[in-house]
Structure 1
């Protein structure tokens, strides 16, 4: 498990930075809730805007912004996008970094197979993402408890966050797995960041388009972010059809990454 430990050690600093930044961002966003609630933004007139547009950007019911669940659900969707980028970056860097930095020759000098290489890297990065997500959700829940409106049910809030924690975990693993697939095709990690950004924003836009027009509703299944939108999870619970789709994508991506990497001519 030497490679597993090395992989965790390599990313521990990045993990801590992301946790701190996302935690502070969450605190900053949620701390604005009392002021926003007093401003009465839920009473804004949105009748002039198309219903499809409001639905696409999760603003169908502005009245929900007067509750901590509704406000958090809307604001945190942008943190979910950042979370997807973090997971995708972990995946796209995992395999390509070894060739780009020349450390693949060190791995080849060890009694380790390619299956073991990709298996340990998948395990290490999955654990790193899981730690990031659990800590982020714990911070978000505590912050929401501090700034929630009077009379809000703590048990209902905990149930909603439990569902969001699971849905967001699956979302991140989906981007991580697709990132692994891309990494198995790359021989350099120079384009890993741009690929991660492109992957997340492209799928997010597909989800928006899918909600804008019923004819394109199937596009929502290509958007892992939509499977874990806080506003949707808080309102309707977990959408299992999206979760199953994500799990299928995870399995296919991991198997393809393994198949490609085993047959790839590595640059030593």
Structure 2
């Protein structure tokens, strides 16, 4: 008498989390903390794999085409996820090919210069940009990405002409700033802690609703209104991942975001934790899709 095969209980091997960006950026730093704490709730290791290229499309496509078995996940952000579809012919469908597992947090971008920069304030930067249109270089993390979009919004709001230079992620963009290859860049809190301690950079403004650095004004204080400069960080799985696997992953991330060690380590990066379930974030994804279509239409038809 034969019996049905016994299926292994997920996960029976390490889970890979693909980051479609370069090393040293905020996603990389956040992921290192996630993967150091979540194994106790997943009962398996989680491995980070950096796969930058094509503005994030290379790594995203890799996950979209991977088996929907829960062993390959994507750690993405809102601009890459829901905005790129309106500016590029993507080799995947972000809404059809992925399902959200969890949002971990969201973070406001800051405008950053080297410590030896002549710009002491955001107003100094704007004044020079107006005096020398098209001459100031802003290094960003990729076209239509987490820094390109707020930069374009600020340029539109203030009628500035900046030279936007793409790099494969926030880490490389910051290295370009530090090496003198750009005049300014943007960065998230997790990328700034050690640089501020070392006295390497100066922050001119932040996109937060309230000040996250006591002596740094917010964009709102500077008269720039709107949803500018926020990046949501979340985990996606390929569509078709079995419901029981999704449930296991969601349960592990739900435990992660309330873990005291995780909270402490995220605090060392200057990062908040603002989790959403996969179902909650799916609602927000759909709203973002509409908002970003309107934004791209506005930025590309003027």
Taking structure 1 as the reference length, what is the TM-score of the superposition?
0.29
Whose strand fraction is larger, Structure 1's or Structure 2's?
A: 2
Taking structure 2 as the reference length, what is the TM-score of the superposition?
0.27
